[in-house]
Amino acid sequence: MDTRLPEFPKMEISNYITQLDLLNNPIFTTKEKKFLTGFYEYMEENLEKDLKILEELNYMAEEPIQEKKKEIVANFMKKLAEKGYYSTVIDFEEHEVGNVTRNALIALVLCGGFWSQNSDRYINGNWSIEMGRLAGGTLYCNPVNYKANEFQREKYLIPVVKFGLMAASAMTEFNAGSDIARIELKLDEKGDKVIANGKKLFITNGMLAENIILYGRLNSGRLGGIIVDTEHQQLKNFESSRVRTYGMNDAFVSRLVFNDVELLKENLLEGDGLDIMFHQLTEERLVISAEAIGDCIKKLFFSHSFALQREQFKHKLHQYQIIRFPIAENIRQTNLFLSALINYTREIDKHPQAASSKMMASQSMGLKIQTSELAFQSSIDLFRTMGGRAFTEQYCNQVGLLDAYCMIHGGGSHYVLGDAESRRFFKTK
Ligand SMILES: Cc1cc2nc3c(=O)[nH]c(=O)nc-3n(C[C@H](O)[C@H](O)[C@H](O)COP(=O)(O)OP(=O)(O)OC[C@H]3O[C@@H](n4cnc5c(N)ncnc54)[C@H](O)[C@@H]3O)c2cc1C
C-alpha cells in the first residue's frame, strides 16, 4: 500500500542555485571539476534510478521492503567500484586528483546531489547510501590497507576495492560507545584459531557485509583487529540484525552477535587495535565533513525551491525575510566550509604524512563538528520552512530530513570531541 497523499505533489527542485554549483565554484581546479563532471554523469546514468527506487520503497507500508533494499544497496556499491568510486585507497590506474580529495568529492555529490547541465534538473543525493560507501570503502578498507600483510591484502582488500563487496568496521559495543577503550568483545587466541565472543552495536552494513574488521580484546589484554569473513552472512555462531533508526534509511545499521565464533588467526592484523582504529581518523573526519556539506547543499536546494513555490498570506514564502535569511546564511557557511575541506584534503594528498599530524587530526575534527552541526541546522531550517509537510514521511523521505540528526554521533560524539578540544586549549603544561 502506497502511503502517499495524492494531494501532495512530489516536490520538484525548480531552480538552479549558482552559489551551490560545485562546477561554478572558483575553489575547484580544472582537474577536480573534470572528476566531478565524470561522477555526475555516472550518477545520472547509472545510479539515480536505484536511488529513486530506494526512496519509493519507503512508502510501501505493510510490504517487506528490506530484502529488496538489500539487493539494491549491494549492487549500488558494485556499480561504484566499477569506476573506482567505492574505495579510493588503492589506485589501479593513474588519477589526476588525489585519493583523499576524490573520496571527499564523491561523498559531497552522493549526499548533496547536483544540478545536471545535461537534463537541466536536480539529481537528488542520499546520505544513507554514502554512509554504506564510507563504512565499506573507507572504515574497512583504510585500516586493512594500513596493516594487512600480502596474503590478507590479496584475499580481503583487493576484492573489496575492485568489486565493491559490502564491508564493515565493528568498534562500538553496548558499553563502549564514545569510550572505545572499554571494548569487551573477546578475541581468544587458541592455536591457529581466534574465538570471538561478544556483541557489537550500530554497525553500518553489518548485516550485509562479506568482510568485517572486528576490534576486540586479545589474551594479552590489549586491543586487536581481525578480519571476519562472514561467509555471505552464514558464518557459524554469528548473528546480525537491523537496528531500526530514524533517518539513514538505507545504511543497514546493525547489531552483531559473536557467540564462540571461530576465526582464522591468519586474519589477525599486526599491531595495536587502537592504533589501527585511529589511523584512518583524519580521512574519516574529512569524508564525513564532505557528507555533511553535501547534505547542506541538498537541504538548501529543497528550502529554496519550497520558499519559491509555496504561497501563504498572498505572498510566496521567500518574500518573508524570516524565511530567506537562514537560507542565505547557510549558503554562505556551506561555501566557507567547502573551501576549508578542499584545502585539507589537497594537503593530505600532497603530503600524506600530514594525515598523522595531531594538528591536522584536530582541525579535521573541528571541521567535522561544524559541518555536521550546519547540516543539522539546515535540516531544522528546512523543517520550519516546510511547515506540516516536513512532518510527513512523504516529504521527510524525499529530503532525507533526519539523516543529519544521526550524524552528529557518527565518528565520535560532538560533546566528547568538543570537551577534549576545549580542555586542550587550557592546558598549561
Ligand atoms: C547512524 C550510525 C552509524 C554508525 N556506524 C558505526 C559503525 O559502522 N561502526 C561502529 O563501530 N560504530 C558505528 N556507530 C556508533 C557511533 O560511533 C557511536 O554512536 C558513537 O561513538 C557514540 O557512542 P554512543 O552512541 O554509545 O553514545 P555514548 O558514548 O553513550 O554518549 C552519550 C552522550 O554522552 C556524551 N559523552 C560521552 N562521553 C563524554 C565525555 N567524556 N565528555 C562529554 N560528553 C560525553 C556523548 O557525546 C553523547 O552525547 C554508528 C552510529 C550511528 C548513529
Q: Which pLDDT does position 84 carry in this prediction? A: 96
**How far apart, in whole angstroms, are the C-alpha atoms of residue 381 and residue 379?**
5
Write the residue with the smallest CA distance to atom 41 of ligand 1: 416
Ligand 1-lining residues (CB < 6 angstroms): 135, 168-172, 177-178, 202-204, 245, 248, 251, 253, 406, 409-410, 412-413, 415-416, 419
**How far apart, in whole angstroms, are the C-alpha atoms of residue 55 and residue 247?**
12
Residue 192's domain comprises: 166-277
Within a domain: 111: no
Minimum-distance ligand 1 atom for the alpha carbon of 245: 1
* Separation of CA 27 and ligand 1 centre (Å): 33
Q: Which pLDDT does position 412 carry in this prediction? A: 61
- Per the CB < 8 A criterion, the answer to whether 406 and 379 are in contact is no
**How far apart, in whole angstroms, are the C-alpha atoms of residue 294 and residue 289?**
8
Sequence letter at residue 415 = Y
Residue 231 CA from chain centroid, whole number: 25
Residue 153 CA from chain centroid, whole number: 24
Q: Which pLDDT does position 410 carry in this prediction? A: 61
Which one of 138, 202, 207 would you pick to mutate in the ligand 1 pocket, going by the greatest count of ligand atoms within 8 A of its CB?
A: 202
* Separation of CA 411 and ligand 1 centre (Å): 8
Within a domain: 176: yes
3 state SS of 164: coil
Which residue, 11, 1, 16, 278, is CA-closest to 121?
16
Number of domains comprising the chain: 1
Residue 366, φ and ψ in degrees, nearest 5: -60, -40
Within a domain: 207: yes
Residues of the chain with pLDDT under 70: 410-412
Contacts of 231 (CB under 8 A, 6+ apart): none
- Per the CB < 8 A criterion, the answer to whether 198 and 166 are in contact is no
For the CA atoms of 160, 353, 284, 82, the dihedral, rounded to the nearest 10 degrees, stands at: -30
Residue 15 CA from chain centroid, whole number: 27
Within a domain: 257: yes
Q: pLDDT, tens digit, for every residue of 258-309? A: 999 999 999 999 999 999 998 888 999 999 999 999 999 999 999 999 999 9
Minimum-distance ligand 1 atom for the alpha carbon of 180: 21
Write the residue with the smallest CA distance to atom 48 of ligand 1: 413
Within a domain: 180: yes
**Residue at grid coordinates 545536471:** 116
* Separation of CA 410 and ligand 1 centre (Å): 7
Q: Which pLDDT does position 380 carry in this prediction? A: 96
Q: What is the domain-level CATH number for residue 196? A: 2.40.110.10
**Residue at grid coordinates 520503497:** 57
Which one of 365, 372, 409, 419 would you pick to mutate in the ligand 1 pocket, going by the greatest count of ligand atoms within 8 A of its CB?
A: 409
The answer to whether the pTM exceeds 0.75 is: yes
- Per the CB < 8 A criterion, the answer to whether 113 and 121 are in contact is no
* Separation of CA 414 and ligand 1 centre (Å): 9
Q: Which pLDDT does position 419 carry in this prediction? A: 81
Q: Which pLDDT does position 1 carry in this prediction? A: 84
- Per the CB < 8 A criterion, the answer to whether 131 and 249 are in contact is no
Within a domain: 212: yes
Which one of 141, 278, 416 would you pick to mutate in the ligand 1 pocket, going by the greatest count of ligand atoms within 8 A of its CB?
A: 416
CB atoms within 10 A of CB 300: 23
- Per the CB < 8 A criterion, the answer to whether 240 and 205 are in contact is no
**Residue at grid coordinates 584534503:** 345
Q: Which pLDDT does position 399 carry in this prediction? A: 92
3 state SS of 166: coil
Which residue, 207, 193, 200, is CA-closest to 257?
200
1: part of which helix (H) or strand (E)?
none
Strand locations in 89-128, DSSP E?
114-116, 121-123
**How far apart, in whole angstroms, are the C-alpha atoms of residue 138 and residue 136?**
6
* Separation of CA 412 and ligand 1 centre (Å): 6
Within a domain: 218: yes
Which residue, 301, 302, 424, 300, is CA-closest to 361?
424
- Per the CB < 8 A criterion, the answer to whether 88 and 21 are in contact is no
Within a domain: 240: yes
Q: Which pLDDT does position 409 carry in this prediction? A: 73
Which of left, alpha, beta for 407 (phi over 0: left; psi -120 to 50: alpha)? alpha
* Separation of CA 227 and ligand 1 centre (Å): 23
**Residue at grid coordinates 574465538:** 195
**How far apart, in whole angstroms, are the C-alpha atoms of residue 142 and residue 153?**
11
Q: pLDDT, tens digit, for every residue of 49-92? A: 999 999 999 888 777 888 899 999 999 999 999 999 999 999 98
**Residue at grid coordinates 554562505:** 332
Minimum-distance ligand 1 atom for the alpha carbon of 247: 1
Write the residue with the smallest CA distance to atom 53 of ligand 1: 406
Which one of 172, 368, 373 would you pick to mutate in the ligand 1 pocket, going by the greatest count of ligand atoms within 8 A of its CB?
A: 172
